Amino acid sequence: MKLKNMLKRVSAVFIITALLLSCFSMGAGSTFARAASSKISISPKKLSMEKGDKKKLKVKYKSAKLKKKTVKWSSSDKSIATVSKKGVVKAKSSGTVTITAKVGKHKAKARVSVKKKDDAFIDVSDAYKYLNDFRTKEGVWQWNEKNKSKTFFNTAGTTKLEPLKRDAALEKTAEIRAKEIVKLFDHTRPNGDDCFGAYPEDLTAMGENIAAGFNSARDVTDAWIEENEKYEGQGHRRNMLSKDFTLVGIAGYKHNGVIYWVQCFGRR
């Protein structure tokens, strides 16, 4: 029993001595080395981007000597964002990535967050102008049902078409329909109802034009004009030239880089 106790005491003293030596060694700094502080940094350190965007990062130097050395750029995940030799970051997909700049032995990092482009309605003011410019043009025409003659407007002895008035209620309807045709590109709503179920109830006449993939109000209006089509292909044109309509609401909704267009026609 005494021997065991002595062994225990010796062991305890050895352990304590070892711990003391370790602590002393740590305190003296003989077994640990501090990392040298980096003499470069990246500006900005944090960056928020949308898919498809390009932005440039800059290296800031604490030592003038380093400015003469080449900067090596790298991305922790090239599927999210890439970086060029000049520090230009290109956002490719949603996520977070670390961009590193290395100059000699010195490194600096920036955190880049990438998100999808926000869905948003675009300014459609020009779309109203292009529509009414076409509608009120002298000598504008459309084919008759048998494609044997044309009906002309805005000339002597023909029907004069008045500009369509921009209607707030129909514009809200157009915005609803623009979002809906992202899900179902049709004159039937995603819930199976007819498109006119989204229109104000006080209308006595209604019409609708839809389109997708055109990048400007001019382009989509030109497509709807259908100048080179026969009667069967001039449905959009006939809506724009109909004397039954006096009001219109237009919307353009951008989703994943594609613009969805709607013209909602009406009369009260």
pLDDT, tens digit, 9 for 90 and up, residues 217-237:
999 999 999 999 999 999 999
Gap between the Cα atoms of 184 and 177, Å rounded: 10
Lowest mean pLDDT among 57-66, 176-185, 189-198, 225-234: 57-66
- What φ, ψ does residue 227 adopt, rounded to 5°? -60, -35
DSSP state of 45: S
Can you say whether the dihedral through the CA atoms of 83, 85, 88, 92 is positive or negative? negative
| Average pLDDT across the chain, whole number | 87
Cβ 210 vs Cβ 198: under 8 Å:
no
Nearest C-alpha neighbor of 228 from the set 147, 121, 114: 147
DSSP state of 195: G
pLDDT of residue 9: 40
pLDDT in tens, 5-45: 433 343 333 333 333 333 333 343 333 334 456 889 999 99
Q: How far is CA 119 from CA 54, 148, 169, 252, 254, in A?
A: 19, 45, 22, 11, 6
* CB-count burial class (<10 Å; 0-12, 13-18, 19+) for 27: exposed
pLDDT in tens, 68-84: 899 999 999 999 999 99
pTM here is 0.60
Give the alpha-carbon dihedral of 175, 178, 179, 185, to 10 degrees. 160
Q: Is the pLDDT of residue 136 over 80?
A: yes
Element (H, E) at 19: helix 2-28
Can you say whether the dihedral through the CA atoms of 159, 165, 166, 168 is positive or negative? negative
Residues of the chain with pLDDT > 90, as a percent, come to: 76
pLDDT band at 67 (very low <50, low <70, confident <90, very high): confident
Residues of the chain with pLDDT > 70, as a percent, come to: 86
Can you say whether the dihedral through the CA atoms of 55, 61, 66, 72 is positive or negative? negative
| Residue count (the chain) | 268
